[in-house]
Amino acid sequence: MAVLASILVGVVALLHLYFLVLEMFLWDTPFGRRSFGMSAEQSAATKVLAANQGLYNGFLAAGLAWGLWLEDGRAVLLFFLGCVIVAGVFGAATASRKILWVQALPAALAMAAVLAG
């Protein structure tokens, strides 16, 4: 696999590790509330849901890391990048258009690089 593809996949994996930390551990903090534009009441009421969502982001990061670790992990990378893209498009349609640019676009660029390489 090309170096650029590996770097882009690594960036997507790191983004999802950041999402895990933000959603599982920082959700109900001033930083977490500012990140998502929530009040203390909103973050407290959705803390468990956010932690669950963060865990799923961790699974995406783990799958991408696994694909990078495998000698020929192209199929694994394409599967997990596809999952990230679908989640990003769904999030953009249902929650915030920003998710399209923060989640789906980096994954689409990484997927294009994997396919090209």
Q: What is the pLDDT of residues 16-49, one digit of tens each?
A: 999 999 999 999 999 999 999 999 999 999 999 9
| pLDDT attached to residue 1 | 75
Which parts of the chain register pLDDT below 70? none
- Please state the domain extents for the chain: 3-116
Question: Which are the contacts of 35, defined by CB distance < 8 A and separation ≥ 6?
Answer: 22, 26
pLDDT at site 59: 98
Q: For residue 9, give Cα distances in angstroms to 21, 28, 37, 48, 101.
A: 19, 29, 28, 28, 16
In whole angstroms, how far apart are CA 110 and each of 33, 34, 86? 29, 29, 14
- pLDDT, position 106: 98
